[in-house]
Structure 1
Amino acid sequence: MLKEMIISGAHLLEKNKSIVDDLNVFPVPDGDTGTNMSLTMQSAMKEVKAVNNDDIEEIAEAAANGSLMGARGNSGVILSQLLRGFAKGVKGKETLNTEDLANALKLGADTAYKAVMKPVEGTILTVARESAEYAVKIAKKETDIEDFLEKVIYQGENTLKRTPDMLAVLKEAGVVDSGGKGLIYIYLGILGALKGEMLSSEDLDIMQKTVEHDHDMHVSGDIEFAYCTEFIINTEGADPEAFREEIKDQGDSMLVVGNENLIKVHLHTNHPGAVMEKAMALGELSDIKIDNMRVQFKDKHPEKEAEEEKDFGFITVSIGDGIEKIFKDFNVDHVIKGGQTMNPSTEDFMKAIEDIHAKNIYILPNNSNIIMAANQAKELSKKNVMVIPTKTIPQGITAMIGFNPGNSPEENLQEMTEIMEDIETGQVTYAVRDTVVNDKKIKKGNILGIGNGKIQAVGKNAEKVSLELLDSLITEEHEIITLFYGAEVDEKSAEKLQGKIEKAYPDCEVEVYYGGQPLYYYLFSVE
């Protein structure tokens, strides 16, 4: 039943993700909370369906582990922590009553709050916390699980309705919190399964196919450890951290996660047999998968020669062939395609980290909604990974300009972080719905000028909105204005705008580059 509840929760969110996406505070075409949460839940669902027994602890742990690796965006990372805490809460349980569920929900909320540096009320965190606190309050009296969950969800919906009173930006935009709404859909799906309102097996099979993808190897030519080794240890009373310590000298790219009954192992090693011998001392092995990466690499990249480990490597996130080329010109090793509407997962970052043969690796997320996933990958990796908290493409490019190969890793981290904070960023896009933001009435299709997180200009002409936006950003101290034009803008239009900017700001140098980014007509960097 727990399996069915998790799967049903994932499905109902997938079915309604566009509704959650549309609750984005800004009416721009990149509201992606629902998509991020759905992809995170689908990853959890995939792991849950792979569990071949009805052990509650193992099922919950599978959901937690799957969501951890599939977490996308801040909402996805928070959701993965809710599931992680829930899994801790059901440890050792063979069945769950209302008190068990209440305590697990409360531990999930507590875990999620701890994972966020500065928790903000009026978000998914508040919906999770208040519904969990109410669950604990009624659990002893309310022993029927269906009735119990109905009341918990009702409390969650009441909290969701109050989120605009907690966050002014929600109230002004006339929306409730999108992450909280997504959580309610998951809860409703869970309740539906409990009531026997499950989806057909055909529906579930179709959904499962949407999350399956090929495992593409990301390895460099100089492969120290040849065998990509994965397996699950079915055990009792084992300690994943203790086993991780036991095999730490056997290879690299190691992930050992699990609980007392299940340990999932991934590592690159030259002696998979030796590792599995140690594992067999703990229990039976299943889902064994061993790939020779040297053979795979030669098949895919016969021309590539072995490369020496370098001092520094870089990972960045962007979309648009022009912007990608700019980052490549700055010697960025791995550009993950993504950003607005398409937030990379923790696993995407892990694969990119694995791909880079460097002593020190910097990640530039270039989007505030991607920073948490980048930091989660940093914590999981054994390599020396540092995250530069860039929130925009211009900040990412500026941070790369600030890199000095002669500095120490720590000095570069400090310098790159400081220099990117001096950049003013402007974005020009369009509205996807009618709303009111910052006392500005916005109609669907209006052109929006966004500066440093606020809508500064609204109009019907991208050029006029751009000039009004820049007027809100530029001061007498600024010297350089950089314009990146998107996929929907031609070069002549960009050059025409450049001329008007030069005329309006004769003391500033104006540079124009093709970005090729979708959805955003122009990106501006002011320094």
Structure 2
Amino acid sequence: MKIEYVDGKLLKDMLISGANNLENHKGLVDKLNVFPVPDGDTGTNMSLTLASAVREILKSSSDNIKDIGKAASKGSLMGARGNSGVILSQLLRGFSKSIEGKDKLNTIDLANALKEGSDTAYRAVIKPIEGTILTVARETSEYAVKIAKKEKDIKRFFEKLIDKANKSLDKTPELLKALKEAGVVDSGGKGLVVIYEGAYRALIGESIKKDNYALDKEFNKEANISTENIKFAYCTEFILESNKITSDKMKEIVEKYGDSLVVVGDDSLIKIHIHTNNPGLVLEEAIKYGQLNKIKIDNMKVQHENRLIEEYNEKVEEESKEMKKYGFIATAMGKGLASIFKDFGVDYVIEGGQTMNPSTEDFIEGINNINAENIIILPNNSNVIMAANQAKEISNKNIIVIPCKTTPQGFSALLAFNPEADYVSNERAMKYALSNVKTGQVTFAVRDTNINGVDIKEGDIIGIGEGEIKKSGKDKKEVTLSLIEELVDEDSEIITLFYGEEIDEESANEIKDIIEEKYDYLDVELYYGGQPLYYYIVSVE
């Protein structure tokens, strides 16, 4: 059947189906990492970004195209994680801007919106790199504009679009040497193709579902409710285990008992959320069809009153604090590293990094929690810098993002900070300090590959120095010592070792003793970092 336009409801379904498809395939996208390290997170970052967009869309019952676009743009902007997530948020931002004022979208409207999304994403990246998600978005959108005038059937239009996107994705290794060496296509580009494919499935009436997407989201809807407006006092949540009833039928049965009803799941596991004055009746209805678990009933009026008191006390306490000249936010991976940053005077530590990139909203929350004239952000990860900069653009405070790509760079920047200097001088000094430290990381390989002439087998211990794989072997100690030897030169003065959560103190001290004996002219320091996946992080200054 020919489809000539997309209305608001279908657009919403396509976005949700695209998000669900990405969530279902995020593991596959994560594995498309150039380095064979265990922290590939492009799929996870893109999925969390798009999930934030969907949550914002679901907050409103509107089927107006402009409202849906704005919600998707806002949600993805705040939820953006990692470089791929930030780029995805910009794609949605441009798409949303292009469809404003439309009641329905034809192929020309969709093509122009995709092109505006691509242009917006390119403008957001200081040095766009071809062979990435940007390339797939650009080539696909340019092709869409080319065929839109002739192809009026949106179903055929999307089929051709997805075919072009896959061809563009397949070419990414030819454009980016690192991808070709690793034998993979670009992970961000693959994530974008998966989104397109999920959206297409909704277009043809076969929307992608996700087993636990809605089960885990959308059940914290009580914020900002005034007591006077609470018609139904009890927020009731539970899970029904049953193969006797569908989620749609369950929704029909309990909807008469209250409002704010959300019923999601499949035929064996259904989660129900409802605001009601008779939670017992709702539970009685549900128990007829199976077992209940994770039952939670809260009195929202009492909760709201308590929340108002807490917020007032927090506001009074915050206002009583004198505004500082400087405040700091840092990202840290591991409790030990977080503790060290706090010892350095960092006000707000976001625990994340390699294994979980913080979102733009995480940084905004940190910014709002600091009462300072100037707030300095230390991302400490190359995949976090874009989210930090996006938070800077949103905030109305004076934010300085120091583009530190590693934890050692973050510490080096902090040591260069002068509390008496102005923020311009500090920014200059802290950025300069990044070049004074070398970073090494020791982890394990998750697949066979050969990079920079280093032959790597799955399970090997690998040493990464200054962003390049330098060593591979079977023994953690040998690889660590060999990596340090690679990093130390005649200008080196200090070696600092941060050992991870899988390394015991005795083993770490054994390596420290060997380093001190070999480099008796250098200072050697050892700290518990507690970082996951990385046995050691090495700093050489």
Kindly provide the CA deviation profile for residues 142-185 of structure 1, in whole angstroms up to 9, marking residues without a partner as x: 11101111111111100100100111100000000000000000
Partner SS for 2:327: strand
2:479 matched to which residue of 1?
A: 465
Distance 2:139 2:166 in 1: 10
2:108 matched to which residue of 1?
A: 99
- Does the aligned pair in 1 maintain the 2:18–2:208 contact within 8 Å? no
Residue pairs, 1:75-154, within 5 angstroms = 75-154=84-163
Q: Within the alignment, does 1:321 sit opposite 2:330 as a pair?
A: no
Distance 1:35 1:352 in 2: 22
Shift of 1:140: 1.0
2:215 matched to which residue of 1?
A: 209
User: Of 30, 42, 63, which aligns to 2:51?
Assistant: 42
Kindly provide the CA deviation profile for residues 464-493 of structure 1, in whole angstroms up to 9, marking residues without a partner as x: 101111122111111110011111111111
In structure 2, the CA distance between the partners of 1:215 and 1:394, relative to structure 1 (3 Å rule), is farther
1:491 matched to which residue of 2?
A: 505
Distance 1:293 1:476 in 2: 59
Distance 2:523 2:104 in 1: 68
Partner SS for 1:421: helix
Runs of 4 or more above 3 Å deviation: 211-217, 290-294, 297-306
Residue pairs, 1:436-455, within 5 angstroms = 436-455=450-469
In structure 1, runs of 5+ residues without a counterpart are 218-226, 230-289
Shift of 1:299: 6.8
Kindly provide the CA deviation profile for residues 295-350 of structure 1, in whole angstroms up to 9, marking residues without a partner as x: 22477899999421111100000021211111111110000010012000000000
- Does the aligned pair in 2 maintain the 1:46–1:208 contact within 8 Å? no
Residue pairs, 1:209-248, within 5 angstroms = 209-212=215-218
The residue identity in structure 2 corresponding to 1:130 is E
Q: What is the aligned length?
A: 455
Partner SS for 2:436: coil
In structure 2, the CA distance between the partners of 1:302 and 1:412, relative to structure 1 (3 Å rule), is closer
Partner SS for 1:362: strand
In structure 2, the CA distance between the partners of 1:302 and 1:444, relative to structure 1 (3 Å rule), is farther
Residue pairs, 1:501-520, within 5 angstroms = 501-520=515-534
In structure 2, the CA distance between the partners of 1:293 and 1:390, relative to structure 1 (3 Å rule), is farther
Kindly provide the CA deviation profile for residues 22-57 of structure 1, in whole angstroms up to 9, marking residues without a partner as x: 001111111000000000000111112223222112
1:238 matched to which residue of 2?
A: none
User: Of 430, 441, 458, which aligns to 1:416?
Assistant: 430
- Does the aligned pair in 2 maintain the 1:228–1:293 contact within 8 Å? no
User: Of 165, 188, 196, which aligns to 1:187?
Assistant: 196
Distance 1:415 1:215 in 2: 45
- Does the aligned pair in 2 maintain the 1:71–1:80 contact within 8 Å? yes
Shift of 1:403: 1.1
| Range 45-54 or range 90-99, more displaced | 45-54
The residue identity in structure 2 corresponding to 1:25 is V
Q: Normalising by structure 2, report the TM-score.
A: 0.81
Q: Within the alignment, does 1:23 sit opposite 2:32 as a pair?
A: yes
In structure 2, the CA distance between the partners of 1:188 and 1:305, relative to structure 1 (3 Å rule), is closer
The residue identity in structure 2 corresponding to 1:26 is F
- Does the aligned pair in 1 maintain the 2:412–2:436 contact within 8 Å? no
1:337 matched to which residue of 2?
A: 351
Q: Within the alignment, does 1:52 sit opposite 2:58 as a pair?
A: no
User: Of 382, 386, 389, which aligns to 2:400?
Assistant: 386
Partner SS for 1:76: helix
The residue identity in structure 1 corresponding to 2:530 is G
Q: Normalising by structure 1, report the TM-score.
A: 0.83
Kindly provide the CA deviation profile for residues 235-257 of structure 1, in whole angstroms up to 9, marking residues without a partner as x: xxxxxxxxxxxxxxxxxxxxxxx
Q: Within the alignment, does 1:399 sit opposite 2:408 as a pair?
A: no
User: Of 367, 372, 382, which aligns to 2:381?
Assistant: 367
Kindly provide the CA deviation profile for residues 394-425 of structure 1, in whole angstroms up to 9, marking residues without a partner as x: 11111111111111111111111111221100
1:67 matched to which residue of 2?
A: 76
The residue identity in structure 1 corresponding to 2:433 is I
Kindly provide the CA deviation profile for residues 170-223 of structure 1, in whole angstroms up to 9, marking residues without a partner as x: 0000000000000000000000000111145xx57x412323476999xxxxxx
Partner SS for 1:137: helix
The residue identity in structure 2 corresponding to 1:35 is T
Partner SS for 2:321: coil
The residue identity in structure 2 corresponding to 1:145 is I
Shift of 1:436: 1.9
- Does the aligned pair in 2 maintain the 1:174–1:436 contact within 8 Å? no
Partner SS for 1:69: helix
1:352 matched to which residue of 2?
A: 366
In structure 2, the CA distance between the partners of 1:492 and 1:211, relative to structure 1 (3 Å rule), is same
Distance 2:58 2:216 in 1: 14
Give 1 or 2 for the bigger CA radius of gyration.
2
1:8 matched to which residue of 2?
A: 17
The residue identity in structure 2 corresponding to 1:209 is L
In structure 2, the CA distance between the partners of 1:215 and 1:521, relative to structure 1 (3 Å rule), is farther
Q: CA RMSD in A?
A: 2.3
Shift of 1:504: 2.5
The residue identity in structure 2 corresponding to 1:380 is I
2:273 matched to which residue of 1?
A: none
- Does the aligned pair in 1 maintain the 2:503–2:535 contact within 8 Å? yes
Q: Within the alignment, does 1:523 sit opposite 2:537 as a pair?
A: yes
In structure 2, runs of 5+ residues without a counterpart are 1-9, 227-303
